């Protein structure tokens, strides 16, 4: 019997060991929890681990540091790089354009400003990461737009090509044909909010899982060279760009039909080997194009250490590096369907193999929510089972003559459940000096951390189906939501992408992914940051799970990475994110197929507006800030600004104006406010002294109440809308509005400053802090009267002139001779006049004196113009509709109504009555 003394010593020893273990665990936990979500390296780009040359050619890189586990090193490296990517994103439109030009050596496409505004409004996280779009579309730059359009028509016109056709005309979808109903509805829903900004074009969508286009390497490389060396630089050098797509070409129909074609250049090879076809675009010097049958994979480009952890997923999924895929991946053995073309045809696919030239787009499968994540059925990490879980079918290829043995899903399920020997990494060093070395173990000893089984057998000849049922332990199908019971979830390619990835990422589990097929999100979802990548060979599979389930540091990292991936997926895999990416893709696609639609240098032109630019060619750009109306402070609903619905007609707007003016005393208030403007000489002006600006503002604030000022603004806004409603046709344009200085400096302004609540210039900053009445008074000055204080104007050098639509109509109705006759563009001078019709912009470049001269001549041309003649017949239908509907407003548009419009818009209107009179 042991003595009490000895027993006590042993108890104290065990107690001491327990205390030490607890302290060690706490120390490790604190160390990892103190790490930021994304680790930032010194330069944000370097590897955080050191590597050595491979032992043999094409073998994996050697890790120089064995003191840290390879998984830990890869996580740190991935998070360092990702942190740098987040930090360098553009914050303004101007920065986004500059970054676009730096990356792609070309200007952004037309309507890039619209896309940027759309992306910001949708809360996009990554504004610059769209390299996949550039690389997908680059070869098409080598083709004439008519050639691209013709190939799309040909592809859609042959019924058995298995393509969904979508035709866009005049900012809307006019035809959609083929494809399942859910696919049609999803694509229509994805483009609904931005289709109005797209040009007329025909789009062909692949309705198969498998990709469709692979171009031989010699032809593809020639097209890429032509695009990079000739077409793109030529477009970049265009000195007369435009922020609009060209008119619909003659070879594009009205969009009501898809014309039938009798022949096709697609070839069908279903249930046949495809490796020979698939590697056609690989370089002749690549391993996939080796002359030898036993060529080895170039693992040096993507694998790390003896177990082959994936350090470069892009290189791993590049089939040109891996000839072994010909006998280990289902798509190359016998795809379930394969309808391929070897000419460059623009086909949109949801995923593709690296060697294919399909254009990737965000999958409607995800947007439509075909595999949903039910958060209510998910459980916390601590309650989940510590196993790698997967259930699925034997998809990935069609099995014939035992072909299932060469397909990736079957190989994974077989290997991961193989009871025989496998290598893991064991720490053979001391606690303060760890040393990780490969160690051979029995895989059967780790069955408790793997639960991977087939639940269905399909896509096979009867004999092959029976053989698989006999070989594999087929389990009952499970509910997709059952996956949330497990800590580690496997996503693996099927016939193409699996379709479960987003749901897995949204869950509270850690995601593992084995994928050769590429999707649109490759730049947004990163390996070792948001998921764990797995190789095809499989030497590292078990260790990738064992590290997180068995090592203390791994047990801490696993839930942190799961939550990290979950939070990021909620930010960048929303339907809104897919729409923004798709919008960008279709804009880029659009200007490739349009004639003479060279992209616009947005940064130097600004947003669409009524502006004439007079630029002094001898002076640098100014640096002052623009002035603009600030955001409104909180206002009661009854005094909010007038908001005009586009659907309202002229008679309805008139009724609203009369309703506002019917408030007792408001007519008198409006007249007195207008008199105040006249008394201070502000009619026809756009700038005044700072003292006068503040004096008038003070007079408005002291003399009138908040509701009176608000009604004045509402009536003003309504009159502006009425002017738009009735101004349908103009034979002559006249204006009593002086050319006004504008603080929008085309050449350095950015469009985001035009978006409400985003400008941070001094004028807006001061207005944010104003009381309600002051804000309304300042809005009358700035918005209604178009007046700004001179102390906000910019320095001399680059000047702008703000004109309304009618004034621009006059200028653009003439020709070069008109400009020469008026002296705006004298013959033989070096003065440059550029007209940007979609923006209502005329840019004049000359010396300072020349710009001043042009400014004066433009002013005289506009002020001395005759008048706007309105034919009464334009308004007859309006009067008729009023009588037909028995509107409360029992009259048409009278002369006094047009005068009211003229007084508000500062445009002189002559009302000429024809023999048909208006009631």
Q: What is the pLDDT of residues 521-538, one digit of tens each?
A: 999 999 999 999 999 999
What per-residue confidence (pLDDT) applies to 318? 98
What per-residue confidence (pLDDT) applies to 915? 34
Q: Write the DSSP string, 632-643.
A: PPP--GGGPPP-
Proportion of the chain above pLDDT 90, given as a percent: 51
Residue 343 domain-assigned (yes or no): no
Q: Does 637 have pLDDT greater than 60?
A: no
Q: Work out the average pLDDT over 541-548.
A: 98
Which burial class, exposed, middle or buried, applies to 34 when counting CB atoms under 10 A from its CB (0-12, 13-18, 19+)? Answer: exposed
The closest of 585, 519, 573 to 194, measured between CA atoms, is 585
Q: Does 132 have pLDDT greater than 90?
A: yes
Model confidence band, residue 642 (pLDDT cutoffs 50, 70, 90): very low
Report yes or no: 475 and 391 within 8 Å, Cβ to Cβ. yes
Q: Work out the average pLDDT over 437-464.
A: 96
Residue 722 domain-assigned (yes or no): no
Q: Does 18 have pLDDT greater than 60?
A: no
What per-residue confidence (pLDDT) applies to 590? 84
Q: Work out the average pLDDT over 190-194.
A: 94
What per-residue confidence (pLDDT) applies to 85? 96
Name the phi and psi angles at 842, rounded to 5: -120, 125
Q: Does 726 have pLDDT greater than 70?
A: no
Contacts of 644 by beta carbon, 8 Å cutoff, 6+ apart:
653, 717, 718, 720, 721
Q: Work out the average pLDDT over 55-70.
A: 91
Model confidence band, residue 488 (pLDDT cutoffs 50, 70, 90): very high
What per-residue confidence (pLDDT) applies to 774? 85
What per-residue confidence (pLDDT) applies to 692? 85
Q: Work out the average pLDDT over 238-246.
A: 63
516 or 648: which leads in pLDDT:
516
Q: Does 120 have pLDDT greater than 70?
A: yes
Report yes or no: 79 and 32 within 8 Å, Cβ to Cβ. no
What per-residue confidence (pLDDT) applies to 874? 38
Neighbours of 137 (CB within 10 A): 18
Number of folded domains in the chain?
1
Residue 547 domain-assigned (yes or no): yes
What per-residue confidence (pLDDT) applies to 677? 87
Name the phi and psi angles at 731, rounded to 5: -90, -30
Residue 484 domain-assigned (yes or no): yes
Expressed in angstroms, the distance from the first to the final Cα of the chain is 121
Residue 826 domain-assigned (yes or no): no
What per-residue confidence (pLDDT) applies to 648? 54
What per-residue confidence (pLDDT) applies to 234? 80
Which range is least confidently modeled, 146-155, 363-372, 765-774?
765-774
Name the phi and psi angles at 62, rounded to 5: -90, 140
The closest of 576, 515, 584 to 137, measured between CA atoms, is 584
Q: Work out the average pLDDT over 136-147.
A: 92
Q: Work out the average pLDDT over 322-350.
A: 96
Model confidence band, residue 689 (pLDDT cutoffs 50, 70, 90): confident
User: What global pTM score does this model have?
Assistant: 0.64
> Helix, strand or coil for residue 778?
helix
259 or 682: which leads in pLDDT:
259
Report yes or no: 865 and 810 within 8 Å, Cβ to Cβ. yes
Which range is least confidently modeled, 98-102, 218-222, 821-825?
821-825
The closest of 468, 497, 573, 586 to 110, measured between CA atoms, is 586
What per-residue confidence (pLDDT) applies to 51? 77
Point out which residues pair with 168 in neighbouring strands.
173, 201
Model confidence band, residue 26 (pLDDT cutoffs 50, 70, 90): very low
What per-residue confidence (pLDDT) applies to 307? 97
Q: Work out the average pLDDT over 296-310.
A: 96
Model confidence band, residue 513 (pLDDT cutoffs 50, 70, 90): very high
Tell me the two tokens of residue 352: 């593709």
Q: Does 595 have pLDDT greater than 60?
A: no
Which range is least confidently modeled, 419-428, 793-802, 858-867?
793-802
Which range is least confidently modeled, 300-309, 545-554, 836-845?
836-845
What per-residue confidence (pLDDT) applies to 275? 96
648 or 20: which leads in pLDDT:
648
| C-alpha–C-alpha distance, residues 901 and 720, integer Å | 7
> Helix, strand or coil for residue 841?
strand
Model confidence band, residue 270 (pLDDT cutoffs 50, 70, 90): confident
Residue 570 domain-assigned (yes or no): yes
Mean pLDDT of the chain: 77
Q: Does 204 have pLDDT greater than 60?
A: yes
Model confidence band, residue 322 (pLDDT cutoffs 50, 70, 90): very high
Tell me the two tokens of residue 290: 């080796």
Calculate the CA 693 to chain-centre distance: 42
Q: Are strands 436-442 and 347-349 parallel, antiparallel or unpaired?
A: unpaired
Residue 378 domain-assigned (yes or no): no
239 or 525: which leads in pLDDT:
525
Q: Are strands 798-802 and 611-616 parallel, antiparallel or unpaired?
A: antiparallel
Model confidence band, residue 687 (pLDDT cutoffs 50, 70, 90): low
Q: Does 11 have pLDDT greater than 80?
A: no
Q: Does 881 have pLDDT greater than 70?
A: no
What per-residue confidence (pLDDT) applies to 754? 28
Neighbours of 623 (CB within 10 A): 10
The closest of 551, 206, 137 to 364, measured between CA atoms, is 206
Proportion of the chain above pLDDT 70, given as a percent: 67
Question: What are 799-838's pLDDT values in tens digits?
Answer: 455 555 555 555 554 444 556 666 777 766 666 666 554 4
Its domain, for residue 403, covers 388-578
Residue 569 domain-assigned (yes or no): yes
Name the phi and psi angles at 434, rounded to 5: -65, 155
């Amino acid at each position: 019997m042991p003595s009490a003394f000895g027993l006590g010593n042993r108890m104290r020893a065990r107690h001491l060991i327990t205390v030490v273990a607890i302290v060690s665990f706490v120390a490790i936990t604190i160390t990892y929890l103190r790490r930021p979500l994304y680790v930032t390296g010194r330069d944000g780009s370097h590897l955080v681990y050191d590597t050595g040359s491979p032992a043999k050619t094409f073998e994996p890189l050697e890790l120089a540091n064995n003191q840290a586990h390879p998984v830990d090193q890869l996580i740190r490296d991935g998070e360092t790089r990702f942190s740098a990517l987040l930090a360098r994103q553009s914050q303004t439109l101007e920065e986004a354009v500059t970054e676009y030009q730096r990356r792609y050596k070309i200007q952004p496409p037309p309507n890039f400003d619209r896309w940027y505004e759309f992306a910001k409004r949708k809360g996009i996280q990554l504004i610059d990461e769209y390299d996949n779009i550039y690389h997908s579309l680059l070869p098409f730059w080598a083709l004439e737009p008519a050639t691209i359009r013709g190939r799309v028509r040909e592809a859609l016109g042959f019924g058995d090509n298995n393509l969904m056709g979508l035709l866009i005309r005049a900012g809307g979808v006019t035809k959609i044909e083929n494809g399942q109903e859910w696919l049609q509805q999803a694509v229509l829903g994805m483009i609904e909010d931005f289709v109005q900004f797209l040009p007329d074009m025909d789009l062909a969508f692949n309705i198969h899982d498998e990709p469709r286009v692979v171009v031989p390497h010699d032809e593809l490389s020639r097209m890429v060279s032509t695009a990079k060396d000739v077409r793109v630089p030529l477009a970049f050098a265009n000195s007369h760009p435009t922020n609009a797509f060209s008119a619909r070409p003659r070879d594009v129909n009205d969009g009501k039909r898809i014309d039938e074609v009798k022949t096709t250049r697609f070839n069908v090879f279903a249930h046949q080997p495809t490796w020979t076809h698939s590697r056609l675009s690989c370089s002749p010097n690549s391993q996939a194009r080796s002359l030898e049958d036993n060529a080895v994979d170039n693992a040096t480009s993507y694998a790390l250490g003896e177990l082959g952890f994936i350090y470069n997923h892009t290189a791993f999924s590049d089939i040109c590096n891996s000839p072994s895929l010909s006998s280990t991946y289902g798509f190359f053995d016998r795809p379930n369907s394969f309808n391929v073309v070897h000419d460059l045809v623009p086909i949109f696919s949801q995923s593709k193999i690296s060697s294919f030239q399909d254009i990737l787009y965000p999958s409607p499968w995800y947007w439509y929510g075909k595999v949903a994540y039910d958060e209510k059925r998910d459980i916390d990490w601590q309650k989940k089972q510590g196993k790698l879980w997967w259930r699925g079918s034997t998809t990935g290829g069609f099995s014939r003559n035992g072909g299932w043995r060469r397909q990736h899903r079957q190989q994974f399920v077989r290997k991961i459940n193989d009871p025989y020997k496998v290598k893991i990494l064991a720490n053979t060093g001391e606690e303060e000096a760890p040393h990780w070395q490969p160690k051979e173990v029995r895989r059967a000893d780790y069955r408790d951390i793997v639960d991977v089984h087939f639940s269905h057998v399909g896509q096979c000849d009867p004999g092959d189906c029976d053989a698989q049922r006999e070989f594999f332990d087929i389990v009952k199908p499970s509910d997709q939501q059952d996956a949330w019971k497990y800590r580690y979830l496997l996503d693996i390619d099927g016939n193409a992408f699996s379709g479960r990835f987003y749901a897995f990422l949204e869950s509270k589990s850690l995601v593992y992914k084995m994928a050769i097929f590429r999707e649109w999100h490759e730049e947004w979802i990163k390996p070792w940051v948001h998921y764990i990548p797995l190789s095809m060979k499989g030497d590292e599979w078990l260790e990738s799970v064992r590290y997180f389930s068995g090592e203390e540091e791994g047990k801490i990292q696993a839930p942190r990475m799961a939550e990290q991936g979950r939070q990021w997926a909620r930010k960048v895999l929303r339907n809104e994110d897919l729409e923004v990416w798709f919008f960008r893709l279709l804009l880029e696609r659009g200007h490739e197929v349009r004639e003479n639609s060279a992209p616009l240098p947005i940064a130097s032109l600004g947003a669409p507006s009524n502006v004439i630019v007079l630029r002094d060619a001898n002076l640098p750009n100014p640096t002052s800030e623009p002035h603009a109306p600030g955001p409104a402070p909180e206002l009661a609903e009854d005094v909010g600004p007038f908001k005009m619905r586009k659907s309202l007609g002229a008679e309805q707007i008139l009724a609203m104006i009369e309703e506002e003016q019917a408030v007792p005393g408001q007519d008198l208030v409006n007249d007195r406010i207008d008199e105040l403007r006249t008394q201070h000489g502000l009619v026809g002006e756009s700038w005044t002294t700072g003292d006068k600006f503040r004096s008038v503002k003070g007079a408005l604030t002291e003399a009138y109440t908040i509701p009176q000022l608000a009604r004045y603004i509402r009536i003003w806004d309504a009159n502006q809308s009425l002017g738009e409603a009735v101004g349908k046709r103009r034979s002559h344009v006249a204006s009593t509005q002086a050319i006004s200085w504008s603080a929008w400096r085309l050449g350095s302004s950015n469009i985001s400053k035009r978006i409400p609540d985003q400008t941070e210039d001094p004028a807006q900053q001061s207005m944010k802090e104003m009381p309600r009445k002051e804000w309304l008074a300042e809005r009358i000055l700035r918005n209604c009267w178009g007046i700004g204080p001179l102390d906000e104007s910019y320095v001399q050098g680059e000047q702008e002139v703000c004109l309304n639509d009618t004034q621009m109509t006059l200028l653009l109705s003439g020709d070069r001779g008109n400009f020469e006759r008026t002296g705006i563009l004298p013959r033989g001078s070096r003065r440059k006049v550029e007209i940007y019709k979609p923006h209502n912009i005329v840019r004049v470049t000359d010396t300072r004196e020349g710009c001043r001269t042009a400014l004066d001549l433009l002013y005289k041309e506009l002020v001395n113009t005759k008048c706007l003649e309105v034919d009464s017949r334009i308004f007859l239908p309006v009067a008729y509709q009023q009588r037909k509907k028995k509107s409360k407003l029992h009259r048409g548009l009278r002369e006094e109504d047009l005068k009211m419009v003229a007084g508000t818009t500062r445009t002189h209107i002559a009302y000429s009555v024809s023999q048909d009179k208006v009631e």
